[in-house]
Structure 1
Amino acid sequence: RKSSSQIDSDLVKQYEGEVQYWQELLRRLVSVVKFLCVRGLAFRGNNELIGSSNNGNYLGILELLSEYDTFLAEHISKHANKECCPNAVEFFNLLQNLYSWFVSSTHRWQVHRKHLRGLPVTKALSDTRWSARYDAVRALNKGYHENMSALEELQSDENQPRDSRLVAEGFLKKLQQLEVAILVEVWDTVLERFQKTTVHLLESLLEFVRSQRSEFEYYEDKGIAKSVVKVYKETSKREKTRKRQFDEGCSKETIFSPRERFRCEVYLPIMDALSSAVQHRLHSYMHIQNKFGFLSNICELSKDDIRHAAIQLMETYVNDFEDCFPSEMIHFSEFYKTVSGQEKKKTRNSSTEIEMLLLLNENMCSHIFPNVHIALRIYLCMAPSNCCGERSFSKLKRIKNEARNSMGQERLNFLSLMSIENDVVDSLF
């Protein structure tokens, strides 16, 4: 009674030890389930619950994680839909489906090639894997009428299956729409600028995209000249009138014309989304430029400026550079001024940083300037890391393979969701 501990202190310690044990066990199980789900690896066993006599792999956690993942994924979706233009997505789906359908049959592809003879369009389409690439849009734009001619021939060919003729008719109606013709012209121009723009020209690219917001009439005229149908799709639709409530005023509702609706709901959102994407990319590059930008101006900077920039870079990459890096950088600047005059003639089309790296390698000086060599390699390897990976396979084929034919629909849904939304799963717990 005189001690501060309770009578059942041993029981409390035992209880707390069991709680900690099961918490650690649950944490390990969640990590294992996350690891397997994200990578689409196989599970074994049934959906046993924790604490049962046959625990197996504790796959009951899979349902719990999937439900929470579903909630978070529906919330990443709502945010993404605010920045997504359904018409732009539909256009690129049309582009991909048109190509896939043309190459799915040898006969149809031969008919298509006959109408595109002599044009580089065929090769551009056949080389395209990513539907949003500039080559694919340019191919459709250059061979727009040839594609429609091929579809018309396939549609009227009685030797073709009925399903194939119906598909050809659907594609033909799409290409005849004025909206599709305008989007072809828009994306052809915009993606061409994106394709040819380097990092140093991102600011001018941003200004170019912003200037296109006021160029709708230009693309509309080009689309009208290209399209078979000269009016917007909604022109022939009957206007819907909304039933007024008793507490509403008597003023008339503002009804956009089909042209204004397309401009405000499709064209302007596309340009705004592109501007936002380029601005975000520019901000990322400027963050890197603040650290490595001194390399391209090393001949114009003073020794103090070079030393200060090298020290800042060392503070960012603590484990990559030695303490002698500032003085080594100053020495390299003098070496670059002396040697680069003759070598620049050979590599004048390359950037300054690439020229520096080539000078070190060709003159076998990487051991003399090891820290400079490391800095150049870090900087030059950053551009590819800015690209997004391209998934050319189906998650379902990976998850439900020949070894998992007995998998139930519920578990398949859970595994597919967690594998697709792997970034959400990684953020759990």
Structure 2
Amino acid sequence: MTKTHYSYRKHLPIRYTYYSIDDPPFKHPEYSPKISIPSIQDHDIPSETVEPSSSINPEYHEVDNISEPIISDDPAKWIVNNTTIDNLLQRGIKQNANADFSLSKRVICNQVRSMSKSLFTRTLKNGDTQLRSWLVYSESKLCVFCAPCLLFDKESQSAFKNGLNDWNNIHKRVQDHENSFQDQRLQRKQKTDCFDLNKQIETEVEYWRNVLKRVVVVIKNLSSRGLPFRGSDERFGSLHNGNYMMLLEIIAEFDPFLAEHIKSYGNKGKGSVSYLSSTICDEFIQIMSAELLKKIIAEVKEAKYYSMSADSTPDISHIDQLTFILRYITKGGVPKERFIKFIPNCGHKSENLFDALINILNELDLNVNNCRGQSYDNASNMSGAYSGLQARIKAVNPLADFIPCSAHSLNLVGTYAAECCTIATNFFSLIQKLYNFFSASPGRWNILMSRLSCQVTLKSLFETRWSARHDAVNALCLSWNEILSALEDISEDTREKALTTSEASGILTNLNSLEYCFLALLWNDILDRFNKVSKILQSTNTDLPTVVELYQSLIKYIESMRTNFENYEKQAIEKSKIKEYACNIVRHRKRKIHFDDELNENDLNPLSGSDNMRINVFYVILDLLLADLNRRNKCYVDLNNKFGFLTSLHELSPEMITTKALKLQSYYPDDLEISLDIECRHLAAHLKSLNIGKMSALKLCEKLHDEHFVILYPNVNIALRIYLCMMVTNCSGERTFSVLQRVKNHLRNSQTNERLNALSLLCIEAELNRDMDYNHIIDEFAIKKARKVHL
């Protein structure tokens, strides 16, 4: 009868099989330790396992939810069986050399004798000392034992096997025993068998670790790109086994080790061990995502100060997913924005969003009082000043300043300006209608492409990023005459359907006017600047002073455009070859004037086409852009004024630095010390001595860390970390939605939210995923999967 149990060995679950207690394994003529990796899919105890008899009642304790016997350090309490032997071989035998030997005193021949610590060492002829590793002291029985005799010699009746306390002759008895043939044989046997067993175990463990390394590298590469894993079956050699098995097959073509492993274990089916199944793959995905999240949270806690952002979108299964992003400054002064998780169906009401964010912060063990900023879009449930999400967060932590998403605000500026007058609204509608007309038919698209002199083709309007409409307007400006020519040919083609020719004729009539050509040139310049600024605002490295600077630059640019009406009009006439506005060509209907009507100046002297375009369109668009830019920039300027002086210390007088530093310190009394004033004045003198002019907050923070000046200016460093951790845009959250569409598409829409979060995290944070250590992941897998079944 055999007895099987599992044990930890070199971080992999190993299964040992020994013979029964009545036939010790090290004496059995056919002894050969059987070692195998337990099946991960089979969590049941093997049928051949024998439970311990009722006469044996070892103590047990839980280690990682695994029941493990407690083997005493006292040899008198050992229950000699395979479990005890294996446990002692792995952990080593404690000699108890530091026990209280005074309790072992005995009166022998009118003399008091006791155990001595010197008994654990022997002195050789040349004076060297040698440890008697076989000798063990029992504190309960107050005697010494020979560990090899006690564990391995069943037949011997040696006194050292039952315990010896003859302290009067103990030294001679010990010398005689260690020089005896029987004892030396047992010690050699113990060492030889342990060495052979350990060597075999290490060889087996190394084999399976090599298999798991190849599994991990496949999972890391597939998950970092958001690719699907599983196919319609799970058999090697099938054309439908999915990307996971396909990559293992590709590696096996150039890797004889994996090829032989797949040949031996690949398609054996359920119940056999291969570590290549989808179950193992899923477990590794969860372990890797948990380790990656643990690393991110550790960085956030090390940084202490952070900002958060949240946004939501429905996925392919119509489940509303709220993305949660954290921004913090690393130890080296570099800003990072990290994805944490998707929260499903938390609702759109501000109180529901608040509960969801607070719960996740508690779950991650992050203190909400360390939050210094929050950034959302301009929806009322998010940005509401009284009951919005930002107001509820500020009620808990008043230092969590709300910063509207700068990129989203810039989109709204353009949207409102485009809707300020009818002709501007119709202009963008006509561009989308033009694209839809040509893209609806390959024949029409070929006609258009045959006439284009440049490679820029018509583009559709963007709904999410309004500033990206520049691509559509720019394509129209570059190919104005070619597009009109294509429309004209289609409208005059008798082979086309009447509906097609009518539609082409209508678009041509509307587009072929001086007004629309003027608007195309005007919006092309505006959107070009808006698009470039929007791309910078979406960067992770963009900070608050950069937002203020970019908004100010747009304001100055729009102001300078107000004097360029004649220039735009001249360019429109040259491009369209039309010299009159439509309002000048069409006869105006004269309104009958009644005796009680109030006449205005336009009724008496109607505006010309040029004046109407300048006053009612050109100035209206630009003035609305200016007003909205100034209004939305005000919140960024107010917040930037708290910290802005840190980037211009060289320009300020000591009195001004003191005033601003004390004001900032009073706003963050629990974070900044009163010595901030002294540090700022010292830093100003320091920068002047180095002839360093104005420096951005990010560069200044990096310099403090690179030059090891953090110790010299600790409060300035804290102020910069708070300043830079403030999130000025939630574009990182928007980008996670692109990954959500890839990870959970129409072919993968049944996965659980736990798996969705794991795959999304590994894909979004692909840089951290790529740098994870193989061995550490395998060790974590082994700790979770190792288990024991006791004799």
TM-score relative to the length of structure 1: 0.57
1:272 equivalent in alignment to 2:623:
yes
> How far is 1:219 from its partner?
1.6
Tell me if structure 1 keeps the 8 A contact 2:439–2:445.
yes
- Give the equivalent residue in structure 2 for 1:357: 701
2:226 corresponds in structure 1 to: none
Change (3 A) 1:184 1:250: closer
Once the two structures are TM-superposed, the CA of residue 333 in structure 1 deviates from its matched residue by: 4.6
Other-structure match for 2:428:
92
Question: How many Å separate the matches in 1 of 2:722 and 2:472?
Answer: 33
**What whole-Å deviation, never above 9, does each CA across 1:310-352 have from its counterpart, x for those lacking one?**
22223344565455544444555566567896xx9xxxxx962
One-letter amino acid of the structure 2 residue matched with residue 223 of structure 1: A
Q: Is the 8 A contact 1:156 1:165 kept in 2?
A: yes
Spell out, residue by residue over 1:385-405, the C-alpha distance to the aligned partner (whole angstroms, 9 max, x if none).
Answer: 399x999x9xxxxxxxxxxxx
Within 5 A, what are the aligned runs for 1:268-307? 268-307=619-658
Query: In the TM superposition, what are the counterparts of 1:321-340 in structure 2 within 5 Å?
Result: 321-330=672-681, 332-333=683-684
Aligned to 1:69: none
**324-333 or 354-363, which deviates more:** 324-333
Given candidates 126, 132, 146, the residue that maps to 2:482 is 146
Whether contact under 8 Å (2:417, 2:624) holds in the other structure is no
Match of 1:218 among 553, 567, 588: 567
Instruction: Rate the CA distance shift 1:327–1:386 in 2: closer, same or farther, 3 A.
Output: farther
Percent sequence identity over matched residues?
35
8 Å Cα contact 1:111/1:150 also seen in 2: yes
**In 1, Cα distance between equivalents of 2:417 and 2:443:** 40
Q: Deviations over 1:203-247 (max 9, x none)?
A: 565454334334322222211122254322223433222222233
Aligned to 2:604: 253
* Deviation (angstroms), 1:180: 0.3
Q: Could you tell me how far 1:183 is from its partner in structure 2?
A: 0.8
Aligned equivalents of 1:159, 1:131: Cα separation in 2: 38
Q: Tell me how far 1:365 sits from its aligned partner.
A: 5.9
* Letter paired with 1:233: A
Pairing 1:137-216 to 2, within 5 Å after superposition: 137-157=473-493, 162-194=498-530, 199-200=548-549, 205-216=554-565
Q: Summarize the Cα distance change of 1:125–1:248 in structure 2 as closer, same or farther, 3 Å threshold.
A: closer
SS in 1 for 2:580: coil
Supply the distance in 2 between the matched residues of 1:339 and 1:170 (Cα, whole angstroms).
67
Structure label with greater radius of gyration: 2
Letter in 2 for 1:237: V
Name the SS of the counterpart of 2:420 in structure 1.
coil
Residue-by-residue CA offset, 1:253-293 (whole Å, 9 max, x unaligned): 33223333232221221122122123334544432342222
Letter in 1 for 2:483: N
Contact 1:175–1:227 (Cα < 8 Å) also in 2: no
SS in 2 for 1:125: coil
Distance 1:262 1:279, change over 3 A: same
* Equivalent-residue separation in structure 2 for 1:147 and 1:135 (angstroms): 15
Structure 2: where are the runs of 5+ without partners?
1-345, 353-415, 534-545, 738-791
Distance 2:553 2:473 in 1: 23
Deviation at 1:178, TM superposition (A): 0.9
Once residues 109 and 300 of structure 1 are traced to their aligned partners in structure 2, the CA distance between those partners, rounded to angstroms, is: 59
Which one of the candidate residues 234, 246, 257 is aligned to 2:583? Answer: 234
Instruction: Label 1:135 to 1:322 Cα distance change in 2 as closer, same or farther (>3 A).
Output: farther
- Count the aligned residue pairs: 311
Q: Which runs of 5+ in 1 are unaligned?
A: 1-34, 42-79, 345-349, 394-429
SS of alignment partner, residue 637 of structure 2: helix
Distance 1:82 1:226, change over 3 A: closer
Larger CA deviation: 138-147 vs 94-103: 94-103
Q: Structure 1 residue 176: deviation in Å? A: 0.6
Residue 728 (structure 2) aligns with: 384
Tell me how large the CA RMSD over aligned residues is.
Answer: 4.4
Is the CA contact 2:459–2:472 (under 8 Å) kept in the aligned structure 1?
Answer: yes
| TM-aligned CA distance change 1:149 to 1:359, over 3 Å | farther
Residues 248 and 100 (structure 1), Cα distance of their counterparts in 2 relative to 1, 3 Å cut: closer
Q: Does 1:125 align with 2:459?
A: yes
Decide whether aligned partners of structure 1 residues 136 and 249 sit closer, same or farther in structure 2, where only a CA change above 3 A counts: closer
Counterpart for residue 7 of structure 1? none
Deviation at 1:87, TM superposition (A): 1.9
1:184 maps to amino acid: A
**Higher strand fraction (1 or 2):** 2
**Are 2:662 and 2:677, in contact at CA under 8 Å, matched by a contact in 1?**
yes
Distance 1:307 1:105 in 2: 69
Render the CA deviation track for 1:6-28: whole Å, top value 9, x for unaligned: xxxxxxxxxxxxxxxxxxxxxxx
Contact 2:417/2:621, CA 8 A, preserved across alignment: no
Give me the whole-angstrom Cα distance separating, in 2, the residues matched to 1:380 and 1:139: 38
Asked if the contact 1:357/1:376 (under 8 Å) is kept, the reply is yes
Distance 1:340 1:127 in 2: 49
Which shows bigger deviation, 266-275 or 370-379? Answer: 370-379
* SS of 2:641 mapped into structure 1: helix
The residue that corresponds to 1:68 in the other structure is none
Q: Which moved more, 1:133-142 or 1:361-370?
A: 361-370
Q: How far did 1:179 drift?
A: 0.4
Equivalent-residue separation in structure 1 for 2:444 and 2:670 (angstroms): 59
Given that 2:518 and 2:569 are in contact with CA atoms closer than 8 Å, whether structure 1 keeps it comes out as yes
| C-alpha distance in structure 2 between counterparts of 1:103 and 1:364, whole Å | 59
- Which amino acid in 2 is paired with 1:353? A
> Secondary structure of the equivalent of 2:459?
helix
Q: Residue 432 of structure 2 contacts residue 461 of structure 2 at CA under 8 Å; is this kept in 1? A: no
Could you say if the C-alpha distance between residues 340 and 162 of structure 1 is closer, same or farther in structure 2, counting changes exceeding 3 Å? farther
* TM-superposed deviation, 1:371: 4.6
The equivalent residue for 2:307 is none
Q: Is the 8 A contact 2:487 2:508 kept in 1?
A: yes
Q: What is the CA–CA distance in structure 1 between the aligned matches of 2:590 and 2:532, rounded to whole Å? A: 47
Supply the distance in 2 between the matched residues of 1:83 and 1:106 (Cα, whole angstroms): 33
User: Aligned to 1:242, what secondary structure does the other structure show?
Assistant: coil
Report the AA paired with residue 580 of structure 2: V
Corresponding residue number in structure 2 for 1:375 = 719
Change in CA separation of 1:259 and 1:303 when aligned onto 2, cut-off 3 Å:
closer
Q: Secondary structure at the match of 2:631?
A: helix
Please give the alpha-carbon distance, in whole angstroms, between the structure 1 residues aligned to 2:657 and 2:581.
60
The answer as to 2:614 corresponding to 1:263 is yes
In 2, distance between residues paired with 1:304 and 1:107?
73
Secondary structure at the residue paired with 2:729?
A: helix
